[in-house]
Amino acid sequence: MSARGPAAVSFREALRFWLQLGFISFGGPAGQIAIMHRELVERRRWVSEKRFLHALNFCMVLPGPEAQQLATYLGWLMHRTWGGVVAGSLFFLPSLALLIGLSWIYMAFGQQPLVAGIFYGIKPAVAAIVLHALHRIASKSLGNPLLAPVPWAIAAISFIAIWALKLPFPLVVLGAMLTGAVLARVASGSLAHGKGHAAATQGVRVAALIDDDTPTPPHALFSLPRLAWVLLAGAVLWLAPMAALLLAYGWNGTLTQIGWFFTKAALLTFGGAYAVLPYVNQMAVGHYHWLSTAQMMDGLALGETTPGPLIMVVAFVGFVGGWAKQVLGPDALFLGAALAACVATWFTFLPSFIFILAGGPWVESTRGNLKLTAPLAAVTAAVVGVIANLALFFIAAIAYPSSANGFFEAKPDWVALTLAVLAALALWRLKWGVIPVIAASAVAGLLLRWFGLA
């Protein structure tokens, strides 16, 4: 039995939400997906659970930041092309502005005790948000382990493959897709998770604006002219700024090389930022000498503790590279660095918009197709294992911040671990939102550093 869904959502109302999301999307992809799930599926009921997960599965197998692509997809589904462009852009623009400001402070004034204290408190909150997201996504996408053990087995194997065997994320995704394809043929029901006790006690399912059986809107149907238009627009949006940089600075110019390098990096970001960061570090530090290894680590910390996708660390890399290479001369260090950050961001995110706007109609046409949904369901299960690995990584990072390898090589930071536990309790037991948890953690970190307790 289903209750009537919410009223139609205006573009202005959606715009307000996407803008708000851009400022609260902490916690990396796991935390960002959890925020969107809570707001769009559970609270606002703009999209149903199945439609949300189907879109998420598609975004998981694309190169690029999956949470930003999911926002783009949902915005496009609700309000056509401009809805997708607005949703995807607002997902990272607040982060870009914030990172440019923080990068300027970092380069001009060095490490600030005030900022260090705030970051000390935020990092445990980020770990708690990821753990909370892991629990929510696992319970939704995997179901009861006694009724549906196969998704849990795929998640466990994926965790072992990433954590213990150090296999690259694309290989894990490929293995999950192949497993799902085989299971669709030999055991078609094995990937359908059981709903367990909670579903049995739920008598009324509240309908969503875009529900399981809502017909695909006309603009989301496949059209060859529309596909050609999207690809042509994407090509122009890439070629025009690249040609301008080439004419202004030459092929070997720093800004031109930043655009070219991050175009290549954008096509390698399968599985999110952590899959491509080693490549970015290797090239930006070792080949181009845009920044040092220590600066790269500081940039990663900034990326982890600011809203937006973690791949926004490219803005920091671009800013520091533009500052170090003085791309607009020594008298315009900030303007040159800010321009370099914008160039890095533009060429990193442009492919994501093209993938979603071009491939969205195909995704809508595959709903209910077992041959396609089974491999994607297996990918979702595998991603749960990857998120578990991310949660473990964050916990180790806050517990052993002075350890080179992160695990058990120094005395644990019990204060940071306590903050993580308190943040987790606030999320689980007190039902706090992400913003109050992050704000309280930031204040706690600042006070602890102020009184010398951490």
Q: Where are the alpha helices (DSSP H) in 110-148?
A: 113-141
180 in a domain, yes or no? Answer: yes
3 in a domain, yes or no? Answer: no
Query: What is this structure's pTM?
Result: 0.70
Distance, CA of 380 to CA of 384 (rounded, Å): 7
**What is the per-residue pLDDT for 452?**
80
Cα dist from 45 to 8, 88, 211, whole Å: 11, 20, 9
**What is the per-residue pLDDT for 1?**
47
Q: Is the pLDDT of residue 110 over 60?
A: no
203 in a domain, yes or no? Answer: no
Distance, CA of 323 to CA of 255 (rounded, Å): 11
One DSSP character per residue, 315-354 reads HHHHHHHHHHHTTT-GGGHHHHHHHHHHHHHHHHHHHHHH
What are the backbone angles phi and psi of residue 128, rounded to the nearest 5°? -65, -40
SS3 track for 275-305: HHHHHHHHHHHHHCCCCCHHHHHHHHHHHHC
Q: How confident is the model at residue 203 (pLDDT cuts 50, 70, 90)?
A: very low
pLDDT: which is higher, 64 or 255: 255
250 in a domain, yes or no? Answer: yes
**What is the per-residue pLDDT for 324?**
92
206 in a domain, yes or no? Answer: no
pLDDT (tens digit per residue) in 139-185: 777 766 766 688 888 889 988 987 888 776 667 878 888 888 888 77
Domain housing 399: 9-197+220-454
pLDDT (tens digit per residue) in 273-328: 655 666 787 788 888 999 887 677 677 767 766 788 878 889 999 999 999 999 99
Domain count of the fold of the chain:
1
97 in a domain, yes or no? Answer: yes
214 in a domain, yes or no? Answer: no
> Strand locations in 163-320, DSSP E?
205-206
398 in a domain, yes or no? Answer: yes
Q: How buried is 340 (Cβ within 10 angstroms: 0-12 exposed, 13-18 middle, 19+ buried)?
A: buried
Looking at residue 16, the DSSP 8-state letter turns out to be: H
Residue 225 structure tokens: 């002219």
Greatest pairwise CA separation for the chain in angstroms: 68
